[in-house]
Amino acid sequence: MQDAHGRKIDYVRLSVTDRCNLRCTYCMAEDMEFVPRRELLTFEEIEELTRHLVGRGVKRIRLTGGEPLVRKGIVDLVERLGNLRPLGLAEVTLTTNGTRLPELSQDLFAAGIRRINVSLDTLDPARFAQLTRRDEFARVLEGIEAARNAGLAVRINTVAMRGVNDQDLPALLAWCGERGFDLALIEAMPLGEVSIDRRSAHLPLSEVRATLERDFTLIPSAHRTGGPARYFDVAETGTRIGFITPLSDNFCAGCNRIRIAATGTVYGCLGHDQKVELRDVLRAAGPGEL
């Protein structure tokens, strides 16, 4: 797959549910209305769709949401997608809030997952509760530990926000370093109707980098994971820090991905509304016809 700008698309972010057990202030409103379950792609439909994508050169699938691990049977889906490896699928990964990792880590590893991203914006339990509107901090830490023990490589994802968690970032980097985790900092993107004031919370990551460099030596690295993060080696910890800067230094030219919502809607970009609906085609056409 190649888009009209000549960018090769070999990476798909696939949402398996719009539901979540947290309500991060920058992501969701407290009173979310979720789509009825019948509107979500079934596992059969996801597998069928993924087979077509892999047939067109997609190498990596990242399962996301909402919270992917609240979808019932998620480990079965990972196993099913793993069956597409002989067709050219190199990797299935996922991004999670970590709350269900205590019970699912081992099964996810057994189903073929090797790397996961876990979102964690602060190490302060009170601020975590404020940011996510739920009291799940201890479970997330337990989940991260469970993932590590199960053999999963963990990258921590942190949305950096001025006046919200900027003062927590040096401690987060040190904490990741002690555990051998890479850390990715993400600029908050203006998505959806949420309560946080994004204008005042916007924090260019160049500023964060300068602050971190007071305590850490950051050496530019050629490391890539197929995503938009630009990495630095952290000399003091032996781990890496990645900066994802959709606003201050956009990476559109090198974009390699599409997104598919849990309802089968395909988006070329998070920042645009252009979309293609595949669910009804999948359902009407029947297996093999998509």
Among 16, 27, 53, 164, binds ligand SAM (CB under 6 A): 27
Give the DSSP H or E segment for 64: strand 60-64
Q: Is residue 157 involved in binding ligand SF4 (CB under 6 A)?
A: no
Residues in the chain: 290
What amino acid is encoded at 113 in this protein?
A: I
Residue 191 interaction partner, one of ligand SF4, ligand SAM, none, beta carbon < 5-8 Å per kind:
ligand SAM
**Residues 122, 128, 130, 135: what is their CA dihedral angle, to the nearest 10 degrees?**
180
Q: Is residue 64 involved in binding ligand SAM (CB under 6 A)?
A: yes
Among 14, 18, 26, 155, binds ligand SAM (CB under 6 A): 26
Which range, of 17-25, 73-81, 100-108, 176-184, touches ligand SF4 by CB under 6 A?
A: 17-25
CB atoms within 10 A of CB 185: 24
Size of the site for ligand SF4 (CB under 6 A): 11
Closest by Cα among 89, 113, 84 to 101? 113
Among 97, 105, 117, 165, binds ligand SF4 (CB under 6 A): 97
Residue 242 interaction partner, one of ligand SF4, ligand SAM, none, beta carbon < 5-8 Å per kind:
none
Residue 188 interaction partner, one of ligand SAM, ligand SF4, none, beta carbon < 5-8 Å per kind:
ligand SAM
**Residues 260, 116, 134, 162: what is their CA dihedral angle, to the nearest 10 degrees?**
-90
Q: Is residue 12 involved in binding ligand SAM (CB under 6 A)?
A: no
Tokens 């205590």 correspond to 102
Site residues for ligand SAM, 245-264, by CB under 6 A, read none
CB atoms within 10 A of CB 266: 16
Query: What minimum distance in Å lies between the beta carbon of 184 and ligand SAM?
Result: 8
In whole angstroms, what is the distance from residue 290 CA to residue 280 CA? 10
Closest by Cα among 160, 182, 186 to 173? 182
Query: What minimum distance in Å lies between the beta carbon of 243 and ligand SF4?
Result: 19
95 three-class SS: strand
Site residues for ligand SAM, 176-215, by CB under 6 A, read 186, 188-189, 191
Among 12, 16, 22, 63, binds ligand SF4 (CB under 6 A): 22
